[in-house]
Amino acid sequence: MTNIEVYIPRILGSVTKTEIIDTFKRMDIGNVTSLDLHFKVNENNYSYYYAFMTIGLYSNILANNFKNSIIKYGMIRLLYDEEAGQYWEIKNHLDKKERISHKQQTNVPFYRHSTLRSEEINTAIPKKYELIKPYNMWENRVDFIENRPNILL
């Protein structure tokens, strides 16, 4: 069992430690071995928590996809309450000494239990799509159509 240290910057004030621990078990990701939950009130006077935790990952595809996506993107969004549409942004936790200021990616995976269960995640872009020029609706030219590769073959 491998461990991963993660950080969740915002957790609703109504969510309990038990719910957090049970979510990772229920989603077959792993056992939360350590959970450090901190209370905070924002500028609009709404209470919330942020958390640092260590998760002992299970040996399965879900846990591998969870870990690999966090390492690759630095953050994922994990849907923990599908009915209410509630999710956590889960970030890879780095010690303050190891942090480097960098631009955060905005295109990160959004997972729920069923999408984590899929096969190993392959994020490579197929070669036939690499050369496609993005469409610009404000261009008044049609020559961009002539230079596009035929990807439907």
* Other C-beta atoms lying within 10 Å of the C-beta of residue 21: 16
Q: What is the pLDDT of residue 100?
A: 59
pLDDT band at 129 (very low <50, low <70, confident <90, very high): very low
Query: Do 24 and 67 meet the contact criterion of CB atoms below 8 Å apart?
Result: no
Query: What pTM was computed for the model?
Result: 0.65
| pLDDT tens digits, one per residue of 11-54 | 998 899 999 999 999 999 999 999 999 999 989 999 999 999 99
Residue boundaries of the structural domains of the chain: 3-116
Torsion-angle region of residue 13: left (phi > 0), alpha (psi -120 to 50) or beta?
A: alpha
**Fold of domain 3-116:** Alpha-Beta Plaits (3.30.70)
Mean pLDDT of 3-10: 94
pLDDT band at 146 (very low <50, low <70, confident <90, very high): low
Q: At 70, which amino acid appears?
A: I
Q: What is the pLDDT of residue 87?
A: 92
**Strand-by-strand arrangement of the 86-92 sheet:** 30-41, 47-57, 3-12, 86-92, 75-81, 110-111
End-to-end, the C-alpha distance of the chain in Å comes to: 45
Mean pLDDT of 109-130: 55
| pLDDT tens digits, one per residue of 55-102 | 999 999 989 989 988 888 888 999 888 888 899 999 988 776 665 554
* Beta-sheet pairing, 75-81 with 110-111: parallel
